[in-house]
Structure 1
Amino acid sequence: MSRGAPARVQAARILDAVLHHGRSLKAALNATLPTLTDGRDRALTEAIVLQALRQQARYNAAVDGWAARPPGRRDGLLRALLLAGFAQLELGLPAHAVLDATVEAVRTLGRPHQAGMVNALLRRAQREGLPVASPRAAWPDWLARQVEQDWPAQAEAVFTASLMPPPLWLRVNRRMHARDAYLAGLHQAGIEAHAPSALADAICLPTPLPVTQLPGFADGAVSVQDGAAQAVADALAPAAGARVLDACAAPGGKAAHLAERDPSLRLLALDIDPRRVQRMQAGFARLGLDIATRQGDATAPADWWNGVPFDAILIDAPCSATGIVRRQPDVLLHRRATDLTALTTTQARLLDALWPLLAPGGVLVYATCSILRAENAAQIEAFLARTPDAVLEPLDNRFGHDTGFGHQRLPGADGMDGFFYARLGKPATSSAPCLR
């Protein structure tokens, strides 16, 4: 087997699992990448998969239009390998290496009789280029129409940004390094990076690289976290020594950010999934953070709350993830219109269940990585209408568009993900918290 064939084989298997068998991208990557012993193969495989998923509408059109007998439902692995080949060409890999390794991968998969067809289609793509399509074509029509309804002036930019590979955002652990000092170390190592003034702990690398190449990553010097997610800490801004609940905390990045900024905070990181709680604990250990964790359903606080009010609450609510399609392109494959009803119901239940746990004078931040108004501005508008002691507090333009009921950052703005933020205050004269 040629040196490059294993990466192509594994890329095809991941794509087949995600595209044709409904598996999540994250699960497929986590199951497959560790089988590749060479870090370069792991990086290449992931890059191929992400590119193919972002452009799968275009690539499938090429397969269906060019192949005399396009691969059918039983030949999903072959189709996935073709998409992987097209992705390599558009990633700028040498064409001869793409053809040689991908054709070898066909043989490795036990399909030598199909090697000629794969070779012919890849050569045509090399010669003619792949079909051009509107970025909207990558989105399910029902979801594209919803984005156009919610953001008529910005929809095309949203579709375009969601197809682009994102930069790598880092959060510097200020307990270990000053950001400027860490940035200088990156520059000394020949790594291009910059530090945006609007985010105190963030560094952006325009060209992503494996975390193993980041100085001090294993020791907790930095974490990977998009700039939009880092802004949540600025939106919450708890006072020193505050008792803080991160209600849907896993994988723990936002709780860790708060603890890195202020070790005096009394943090509880809660999540409903015990496996995610364990992974969150491991992440806190890498960063050297002592954060209390607990498994529990945030919509049922009677099962886990000790009755002591929180000074600040963060609800990073489960959502459609439409703001992070460029990082998780499988969102567009798996999301269904019926999902929104379930998600908005859960979001409302979280707000209603956790608001009584907030102390008078406290603040609650509701955040999502969605760009849909139903999950964001409309959710907050409805909550304010039914909650007399909730007050919407102002945020500035660092947090994106002012919707009237919170701020919306759209994908790609300042190189960040799409994200929503609403800061809600409870007046100091509000009645004591109680469970509903």
Structure 2
Amino acid sequence: MKPSNKNKKAPSKLGYKNKTKSAYQLSHRPHMRADAAWVLFQILEHGKSSREVMPKVFDRHEGKDNAWLQEMVFGCLRELPKLQYWLRQLLSKPLKGEQKIVEHLIMLGFYQLVFTRTSEHAAVSETVEACAALGQHRLKGLVNANLRNFQRENLAEQEIDVPHIQVGLPKWLHKQLLQHYPDQVAEIAEQINARPPLWLRVNAAKGSTLNYTAKLDAQGIEYEAVDNGVEPLNLLDVNATHALKLIKRTDITALPGFDEGLFAVQDLAAQLAAELLDVQPGDDVLDCCAAPGGKTAHILESQAKLASLDAIDSDGQRLERVDENMQRLGHDQSFGDKLNLYVVDASSEEVLNRVLKDKQYDRILLDAPCSATGVIRRHPDIRWLRKATDIENTVALQKVILAQIWQRLKPGGTLLYATCSILKQENEQQIAAFLATQADASLVPLHENDTPECPGLQILPGQAQMDGFYYARLLKS
């Protein structure tokens, strides 16, 4: 029996505020550069995420064309401050209304000319042709002129004396990094803009890492195992023996054992959660804010003899992905009634009580809502979808959820607080404030410098080739 079908409430319908119907329409004829400009327009002008709009254009193309589309869109998002700066130098006045999409098309042309191996002729001519594909025939001359002037004036070689533009970050995020990591801003920005590695987690419930690497070897797929001697891994009492990093990015579904659920895609930093939670036989476990389910699955794989695992998330649509992942990995069958999925707003005491009743837990993983600033290299749109004002609201939400979920922890139980953020107010400052006000909470150090005044472990993007992540482990007296 599928646990989600038995226990999960109907997914909620999540909408987007301030979106007009036209913002959702993809009415122009299929054209790769026009489609890339459309995606950028949706993200930057309508506030949509790449995960929402990229599939719409992927459906119009296939194979290598989709790989090219993703590279163009993500590349433009990484280099956006420079592209916008160059555009302002050349465009006499901003375009408005339906013509605004052409600005994104011009920036796509800049990106091709500077950051790709596309021939100059193709970068210009195909980008101009995309203007016609978008129905903006009258602006073809404008696109052509801007791209030609960009080349003629050699703007790409001119120094830009604006710090946040130099490192490719929005001004608010650059200011935050200067405040929290004044000596590491350039290094962090470089890692944020880097292409992320592809990490796998071998499904221990279906076989050993040795057996799976034999399958990779048989197909000539290159990989690396974890080096536990690299900081910050050497600070932790963990052994990520099921983690493998692929040398070359590839189609995940084409890897051996995908359909059989022999592995999952999960960054090494995220794989530390199950190790640090350290679930014991007979434990009741709560995975709070569980979607898309990577950590949920890993907890099950790390302790087959747990008593129960309740995975909750406020987004019913994202919880569907947890269900799908459990099915592919075989955990829905292996764990049966031990595994329960619930659509729950963890900030609401009323909803928690209604769904979870009076159940208490030995182990809780709180993967708290956050700015996701630690995973920008995987989702370049995050830096442009987030605003400085969002952080204060997120910190307030974290505080509420932490207080509510703490009441669900048994005396003597462990709560592992986690975020994929690198901002201190979401991480160590949040936990320090909680420890200072919660009398029955104490810190279980993860390393020798882990103190109540400066709690937890902050992983910065690129450390041991991991995403940015934060962990703090708390004990209830």
Q: SS in structure 1 opposite 2:292? A: coil
- Summarize the Cα distance change of 1:396–1:91 in structure 2 as closer, same or farther, 3 Å threshold: farther
- Summarize the Cα distance change of 1:264–1:92 in structure 2 as closer, same or farther, 3 Å threshold: farther
State the alpha-carbon separation in 1 of the partners of residues 127 and 450 from structure 2: 43
- Summarize the Cα distance change of 1:403–1:382 in structure 2 as closer, same or farther, 3 Å threshold: closer
Contact 1:226-1:416 within 8 A present in 2 as well: yes
Q: Give the letter aligned to residue 326 of structure 2.
A: F
How far does residue 143 in structure 1 lie from its aligned partner after superposition? 2.8
Whether 2:49 is the aligned partner of 1:24: answer yes
Deviates more, 1:128-137 or 1:195-204: 128-137
Query: Map of 1:409-424 to 2, 5 A cutoff?
Result: 409-424=459-474
Q: SS in structure 2 opposite 1:424? A: strand
Contact 2:445-2:451 within 8 A present in 1 as well: no
State the alpha-carbon separation in 1 of the partners of residues 459 and 33 from structure 2: 36
Tell me what 2:76 maps to: 52
Tell me what 2:252 maps to: 211
- Summarize the Cα distance change of 1:9–1:236 in structure 2 as closer, same or farther, 3 Å threshold: same
Deviates more, 1:261-270 or 1:202-211: 202-211
Whether 2:327 is the aligned partner of 1:294: answer no
State the alpha-carbon separation in 1 of the partners of residues 294 and 122 from structure 2: 39
State the alpha-carbon separation in 1 of the partners of residues 277 and 208 from structure 2: 22
RMSD, aligned CA: 2.7
Contact 1:272-1:297 within 8 A present in 2 as well: yes
Deviates more, 1:190-199 or 1:337-346: 190-199
Deviates more, 1:223-232 or 1:61-70: 61-70
State the alpha-carbon separation in 2 of the partners of residues 237 and 26 from structure 1: 32
Whether 2:218 is the aligned partner of 1:185: answer no
State the alpha-carbon separation in 2 of the partners of residues 173 and 368 from structure 1: 23
Total equivalences in the alignment: 422
Query: Map of 1:317-332 to 2, 5 A cutoff?
Result: 317-332=368-383
Contact 1:51-1:87 within 8 A present in 2 as well: yes
Give percent identity, aligned residues only.
39
Contact 2:282-2:305 within 8 A present in 1 as well: yes
Measured against aligned partners, the alpha-carbon deviations of 1:164-211 in whole angstroms (never above 9, x if no partner) come to 121112222122232233334334434332111333222222432222
State the alpha-carbon separation in 2 of the partners of residues 311 and 343 from structure 1: 27
Tell me what 2:189 maps to: 159
Tell me what 1:431 maps to: none
- Summarize the Cα distance change of 1:177–1:114 in structure 2 as closer, same or farther, 3 Å threshold: farther
Whether 2:174 is the aligned partner of 1:141: answer no
Gaps of 5+ in 1: 428-436
State the alpha-carbon separation in 2 of the partners of residues 240 and 96 from structure 1: 64
Tell me what 2:6 maps to: none
Tell me what 1:407 maps to: 457
Query: What TM-score results when the alignment is normalised by the length of structure 2?
Result: 0.81
Q: 1:383 aligns with which of 420, 423, 434?
A: 434
- Summarize the Cα distance change of 1:387–1:48 in structure 2 as closer, same or farther, 3 Å threshold: same
Q: Give the letter aligned to residue 197 of structure 2.
A: P
Deviates more, 1:193-202 or 1:236-245: 193-202
How far does residue 120 in structure 1 lie from its aligned partner after superposition? 5.0
- Summarize the Cα distance change of 1:332–1:229 in structure 2 as closer, same or farther, 3 Å threshold: same
Contact 1:313-1:364 within 8 A present in 2 as well: yes
State the alpha-carbon separation in 1 of the partners of residues 450 and 329 from structure 2: 30
Contact 2:284-2:361 within 8 A present in 1 as well: yes
Whether 2:277 is the aligned partner of 1:236: answer yes
How far does residue 375 in structure 1 lie from its aligned partner after superposition? 0.8
State the alpha-carbon separation in 1 of the partners of residues 204 and 226 from structure 2: 16
Tell me what 2:198 maps to: 168
State the alpha-carbon separation in 2 of the partners of residues 188 and 68 from structure 1: 58
State the alpha-carbon separation in 1 of the partners of residues 93 and 320 from structure 2: 48
Deviates more, 1:400-409 or 1:352-361: 400-409
Tell me what 2:322 maps to: 280
How far does residue 129 in structure 1 lie from its aligned partner after superposition? 6.9
State the alpha-carbon separation in 2 of the partners of residues 385 and 15 from structure 1: 44
Q: Give the letter aligned to residue 60 of structure 1.
A: Q
Structure having greater relative contact order (Cα 8 Å, sep ≥ 6)? 2
State the alpha-carbon separation in 2 of the partners of residues 259 and 238 from structure 1: 9
Tell me what 2:400 maps to: 349
State the alpha-carbon separation in 1 of the partners of residues 120 and 264 from structure 2: 35
- Summarize the Cα distance change of 1:355–1:33 in structure 2 as closer, same or farther, 3 Å threshold: same
Q: Give the letter aligned to residue 200 of structure 2.
A: L
State the alpha-carbon separation in 2 of the partners of residues 39 and 229 from structure 1: 29
How far does residue 14 in structure 1 lie from its aligned partner after superposition? 0.4
Deviates more, 1:277-286 or 1:369-378: 277-286
Tell me what 2:226 maps to: 196
Query: What TM-score results when the alignment is normalised by the length of structure 1?
Result: 0.88
Q: SS in structure 1 opposite 2:371? A: coil
